[in-house]
Chain A
Amino acid sequence: MNGGGLGYGRRKLTGHVMMAGSLVAACIAVALLFWIIGYVFIKGIHGINLDFFTELPTPVGVEGGGLANAIVGSIIVVGMAALMAVPVGVAAAVYLSEYGRGLFASSVRFVADVLAGVPAIVAGIVAYALVVSRMGRFSAFSGSVALAILMLPIIIRSSEEIFKTVPNTLREASLALGIPRWRTVIKVVLRTASGGLVTGIMLAVARVGGEAAPLLFTAFSNSFWSLRPDQPMATLPVQLFNYAISPYDDWHEKAWAAALVLIFMVLMLNIAAKMYAHRRPGR
């Protein structure tokens, strides 16, 4: 039998055309990404040296210096944000996937979805109103609150999805062994999902780690060393922003270097997340 003849030939042709089209689109997307990374690399690599990681920023006109305080500040601000958002987000996700039914649960889901779409700068305004205006000054803590607001919905929704991938048969196996529900959730559901959970959290951290807008009027910036959460703190994205809008060539170079470091840190987090997700299960 002549299997379809013309029809088959046309189907095959359409298939080839579609594949070629999507391949081209994929190439454009990847090329664009590499171009951005490559461009930042070329512009930023000059500014990278040991001082960049160990020295404080210098005043205008003074050569040298670095962004040590901003790098450490970013880690602190994002770390405190994660400390706030991760427990709340994971607990909320546990509620949604393990206990939540009916109207309240779907309202929580809806709110999380809306919150996920909120522009970053709005999170900053909220943190400003909640913390900065009450404390009467900018602070690292208020910056963390802003970032936590951004992280929360990402963590809730990604964790809930991960919990849903834990087969129900495992929950039932545990319940049938006479393990109470709450213990089943902690020891079976959370443990089985831990790989995906950690991956989701790392991606959420990477996502907010590069935000400058909500930090501009919360954590603000600081040219000196400060580890106090109740004081303004320098962060990489804000420092990058300040340098980029300045009229000085030296600072522009530093802005590119900061961008490179930021991209590198986000990249590292993504790679770590991938590696954690693909680590050998069992142990």
Chain B
Amino acid sequence: MTDKLKVEALSAWFGNNPALYDINIAMPEKSVTAIIGPSGCGKSTFVRCLNRLHEEVPGASSRGIVLLDGEDVYSPGVDPVLLRRRMGMIFQKPNPFPTMSIAQNVVAGILLERRMSKSEVEESAEKYLKLAALWDEVKDKLHKPGMSLSGGQQQRLCIARALAVEPEVLLADEPASALDPISTAKVEELFMDLKERYTIIVVTHNMQQAARISDKTAFFLTGKLVEYDATAKIFTNPSRKETEDYVTGRFG
């Protein structure tokens, strides 16, 4: 399999405080990669470096190479705005736009750029709501506010919204941590389906979840990539002591 993403010597800072040290990692196309590690180890910072959202934080900086299809996203000719359209992002807390209806939220990535007719909004919304396995639950209330949904539904709405810009990569930062077990299962199932079309990177604190949905797992510790391997290997037979301690719950 070819590498969709290849990260070389990536370091990141918040002001003068380093958050990532010299990360080297590669994600194969159409696979799910889980990022695990204790709180504050730099998981969020890492995924936010991939779509260049990290640099939007005041004082934040990074150095290194991130190759998307072999092209460095940090090279001077790359427009971060266009780059982000190729990498959808799902956040820990569902964040639908409060001024928009359910349908408008789905197509927000397009609607914020240009005018859309009502039928165009509905058609597009239907397509991506189906993809995000939310259609049946909301098809009768497309024009209700996006905030009127439950937390789990809101999160799938945000997934639909990310899918609607037709990205190639999905970055999910603890997408299920604010959800109940049933919603979590739905989101996990969704990722399993989406993997056939997208390269997915998912940050999670939930070991079982990482084991269930990912092909490869990366273990981060205090800003460094400690181990990166097939998920089965990480969870059954890790090469590093720190990894073993973490996945067996001895710390973190």
The interface of chain A, by Cβ under 8 A from chain B, is 101, 167, 169-170, 172-181, 183-184, 187-188, 191-192, 194, 281-283
With both chains docked as a complex, state the minimum distance between the C-beta of A102 and any C-beta of chain B, in angstroms.
10
Nearest to B51 among chain A residues (CB) is: A176
Interface pick from B11-19, B79-87, B191-199: B79-87
Taking chain B's interface residues, is the majority helix, strand, or loop, or is none over half, making it mixed? Answer: mixed
Give the size category of B's interface with A: 20 to 34
Is the CB–CB distance between A192 and B99 below 8 Å?
yes
Chain B residue nearest in CB terms to A183: B112
Name 5 interchain pairs, CB-CB below 8 A, sorted by A: A169-B93, A173-B97, A177-B108, A179-B109, A191-B99
B139-160 contacts to A, CB under 8 A, are 144-145, 147-148, 158
Q: Which residue on A lies nearest to B88, using beta carbons?
A: A176
Chain A binding site: helix, strand, loop or mixed by DSSP?
A: helix
Q: Roughly how many angstroms separate A174 CA and B100 CA in the complex, as a whole number? A: 13
Residues of B96-128 at the interface with A, using a CB-CB cut-off of 8 Å, are 97-99, 101, 108-109, 112-113
| CB-based nearest B residue for A173 | B95
Taking Cβ atoms with an 8 Å cutoff, the residues of B that contact A are 51, 53, 56, 58, 81-85, 88-89, 91, 93, 95, 97-99, 101, 108-109, 112-113, 144-145, 147-148, 158, 161-162, 165
Among candidates A174, A281, A282, residue contacting B112 with C-beta atoms closer than 8 Å: A174
Does B99 lie within 8 Å of A175, measured CB to CB?
A: no
The residues of A that contact B85 with a CB separation of less than 8 Å are 177-178
Give the chain B neighbours of A194 by CB distance below 8 A: 99
Q: Are B81's CB and A180's CB within 8 A?
A: yes
Which residues of chain B are near A282, meaning CB under 8 Å?
98-99, 101, 144-145, 147-148
Residues of B with C-beta under 8 A to A191: 99
One of B53, B113, B144 near A172 (C-beta < 8 A): B53
Instruction: Note all chain A residues with C-beta closer than 8 A to B112.
Output: 174, 177, 179, 183-184, 187-188
List the B residue with the shortest CB-CB distance to A171: B56
CB distance from B108 to the nearest CB of A (A): 6
